[in-house]
Structure 1
Amino acid sequence: MDTTTVGVDLAKNVFVACVADCTGRIVARREFNRAGFLSWLGTLPTATVIGMEACGSAHHWGRTAQRLGLAPRLMAAEFVRPYRKRQSVKNDRADAEAILVALLSPGMRFIPVKTEAQQQRLAWHSLRVGWVEERTALLNRVRGLLAEFGVIVDPGPKHLRALLAEREFDTALSPALRGLIQSVRDQLDALDARIGECDRQITAQQANDPLAKRARDLPGVGLITADAVTASVGDASMFRNGRQFAAWLGLTPSQSGSGGKTKLGRITRRGDDYLRTLLVQGARSVLAATLRKQRRESPEKLTRLQQWIVVLNGRIGYHKTLVAIANKHARQLWAVLAKGEAYNPQAWQRA
């Protein structure tokens, strides 16, 4: 059998493969358990193209296929979905066939297989996000509980944490509630320690990464953002330009229209939610710093970028300006990572 392409529907224990020959005709459908799938991959001809959705464990199987001399191709699930014959019918066999058809489609965009080192770096980010969310949920929960006993705390975590830190606060509580508050303190301390450990690991793992150090020179790009971007992207030169990189992050407007008329809508929000969130948060800090400087300084003391931000904020409003700044930061990040250059705020003056 002249196998050239295979579409695989991945799962934890059941794997379904749809096999096509060199003409694109489906010649076999196979179902395996985990061990059987690994053995079967080893029997495929070298350079066989293996298509998979970029879901959980996809990068692991992509690396496994590479070690066996195969050519893995990961695709976003949203790009595979339209190739399912019947949208109302979803099963493993139909999914495997849809993956195969999508793989054979001209112009399909693929996701690079992440190395194990990249995923190890990103694991600390994933843990940190989860623990930050858990800490926020805990603070909100205890705020609601205190309100039930007539204790109203000003908005913001710093006010609640300051109140919890006051030992005199305990004297106004019943013994049972006092014990509950102490357990909250202990849990907050534990979460703070875990988040701090994540921060230390993220700092350490980018210490020897020149790209991450270079990325941190950009305004609005801090330690966490720089490490997340370099670990997620890998080789930034796979993007043709900065706009394509920004579009990959979902920071470009959606387009619609007909009859030669194009209408721009809200941003697509495709791609990595975490990276996009970090860039928007960085844009928020840059915008806040610019507006503070605008109030203190005369207009001629603002940099060219700050002048652009001020004008844009007055013209389109706060939230759209945030997205525009994040888009610009994404393009600048691409230039720094893809071209290997240090950040130069005066690069716009080049002839």
Structure 2
Amino acid sequence: MSKVTTVGIDLAKNTFVLFGLGPKGHSGWKRKVRRKQLLEQLVRLEPCTVALEACGSSHYWARQIRALGHQVELLPPQHVKGYLRGQKNDYNDAQAIAEASEHGRIRPVPIKEVEQQDDQMLHKLRQGVSKDRVRISNQLRGLLAEYGVIMPQGIAALRRELPLALEDADNGLSERARQLLHRQYQRFLEVEQELAWYDQQVKQRSRQDETCRRLQAIPGVGEVVASLLKGWMGDGRQFRRGRDAGAALGLIPRQNSTGGKDVLLGISKRGDPYVRAQLVHGARAVVARADGKMDRLSRWIQRLKAERGFNKATVALANKLVRIAWVIIARGEHYQPSEQRLAV
């Protein structure tokens, strides 16, 4: 096998394509291997750079390949797309990945360790259970409305009012409808118990993790948001400064500028939408309670609310909170409200 300096791998479920580049970017070789043959193929190579797209199973393979002594880079797929030449196939995809790595202008995605993936799995499963609860509650409320029984909005109201509606003999519900609604309500209660278990796991994890405890000192950051930020950001070293973290999470304006004329639109909404949404929810709670307070952060929020409105002030605060979180995670500092280290 000829000397290679960079190997691009197009990942799949069972079949992988490798494209090797030699010194000075000259094309080396290409291979198609089965899943069980991938590590056997790479162990024969001298230590080099192995590039993969950041996609499903990529963090697992990155850890396995790194253990062989290679330098591994995970590249964002949307940026690799620009290096694709010719028609799309596995070989051209692998070549594009290798050339994107050789170019060196794409910031790689940090490789997640097993513990970080465990934390993210916990939040993804919790998010799925939470969606199930909302779906079932909306379904129950809609089915009851078909019989003229109107339930107030909110989970707590449904939990309180639905058993009363099932016991009310004068509301027009048939016996069959009561039986069906009762079964679905029992399922709703089971989902609530499952969600409570996940909430307890998140809180327990946040209490045990020292970084999460420091993050919870930030206004608007509780146990859930702290755990989400820690899982999303990792050690924070992939960002040079806090502003880069805010940009990666999509909390900066989207540009459509040309000819020297700057045009700023709404936020870019890049990155993880669930992390961004939870952070905005936390910021909204802080903005809603800022009136009448005289500390520096509250005065900044009050001025921004008066100039730009509630929603823009909320997003601006969320961006500021991400930048503060980066300082706490990447530099190991503590939040000090007296000094108000808001700009990073």
TM-score by length of 2: 0.93
| Alignment partners' CA distance in 2, 1:182 and 1:221 | 38
* Other-structure match for 1:334: 326
| Alignment partners' CA distance in 2, 1:169 and 1:91 | 62
Cα separation, partners in 2 of 1:275 and 1:311, compared to 1, 3 Å: same
Shift of 1:349: 8.0
For the aligned residue pairs, the C-alpha RMSD in angstroms reads 1.9
Shift of 1:157: 3.0
- Given that residues 245 and 331 in structure 1 are in contact (C-alpha distance below 8 angstroms), is that contact kept between their aligned partners in structure 2? yes
State the one-letter code of the partner of 2:18.
A
Matches within 5 A, 1:248-327: 248-290=248-290, 294=291, 297=292, 301-327=293-319
Q: Deviations over 1:23-64 (max 9, x none)?
A: 212221211111011221222212x11111111100000110
Shift of 1:246: 0.7
Report SS of the residue matched to 2:289. helix
Shift of 1:170: 5.2
The yes-or-no answer on 1:164 pairing with 2:162 is yes
| Alignment partners' CA distance in 2, 1:210 and 1:235 | 13
* Other-structure match for 1:194: 194
Q: Deviations over 1:99-149 (max 9, x none)?
A: 112112232110110001111111110100011011111111122211211
Q: Deviations over 1:176-212 (max 9, x none)?
A: 1111111122211211121111122222223332111
Shift of 1:18: 1.2
* Other-structure match for 2:150: 152
Report SS of the residue matched to 2:256. strand
- Given that residues 76 and 108 in structure 2 are in contact (C-alpha distance below 8 angstroms), is that contact kept between their aligned partners in structure 1? yes
| Alignment partners' CA distance in 1, 2:160 and 2:203 | 28
State the one-letter code of the partner of 1:189.
L
The yes-or-no answer on 1:346 pairing with 2:322 is no
* Other-structure match for 1:30: 31
TM-score by length of 1: 0.91
* Other-structure match for 1:122: 120
Shift of 1:263: 2.2
Shift of 1:167: 6.2
| Alignment partners' CA distance in 2, 1:73 and 1:41 | 15
- Given that residues 237 and 339 in structure 1 are in contact (C-alpha distance below 8 angstroms), is that contact kept between their aligned partners in structure 2? no
Matches within 5 A, 1:40-189: 40-46=41-47, 48-86=48-86, 89-166=87-164, 169=167, 171=169, 172=171, 173-189=173-189
Structure 2 spans left out of the alignment, 5+ residues: none
- Given that residues 109 and 238 in structure 2 are in contact (C-alpha distance below 8 angstroms), is that contact kept between their aligned partners in structure 1? no
Cα separation, partners in 2 of 1:179 and 1:90, compared to 1, 3 Å: farther
State the one-letter code of the partner of 2:286.
V
| Alignment partners' CA distance in 1, 2:320 and 2:338 | 14
Shift of 1:302: 2.6
Shift of 1:168: 5.3
| Alignment partners' CA distance in 1, 2:134 and 2:234 | 31
- Given that residues 18 and 30 in structure 1 are in contact (C-alpha distance below 8 angstroms), is that contact kept between their aligned partners in structure 2? yes
Q: Deviations over 1:283-330 (max 9, x none)?
A: 11112222xxx2xx4xxx432211221221222122222210100111
| Alignment partners' CA distance in 2, 1:166 and 1:186 | 14
Matches within 5 A, 1:204-219: 204-219=204-219
Shift of 1:150: 1.4
| Alignment partners' CA distance in 2, 1:152 and 1:208 | 44
- Given that residues 253 and 264 in structure 1 are in contact (C-alpha distance below 8 angstroms), is that contact kept between their aligned partners in structure 2? yes
- Given that residues 170 and 178 in structure 1 are in contact (C-alpha distance below 8 angstroms), is that contact kept between their aligned partners in structure 2? no
Once the two structures are aligned, what percentage of the paired residues are identical? 37
Report SS of the residue matched to 1:258. coil
Shift of 1:277: 1.4
| Alignment partners' CA distance in 2, 1:190 and 1:93 | 48
| Alignment partners' CA distance in 1, 2:313 and 2:167 | 42
Q: Deviations over 1:144-163 (max 9, x none)?
A: 21121112223333332322
Once the two structures are overlaid, the 10-residue window that deviates more, 4-13 or 235-244, is 235-244
| Alignment partners' CA distance in 2, 1:74 and 1:349 | 33
| Alignment partners' CA distance in 2, 1:56 and 1:227 | 22
- Given that residues 297 and 340 in structure 2 are in contact (C-alpha distance below 8 angstroms), is that contact kept between their aligned partners in structure 1? no
| Alignment partners' CA distance in 2, 1:341 and 1:307 | 24
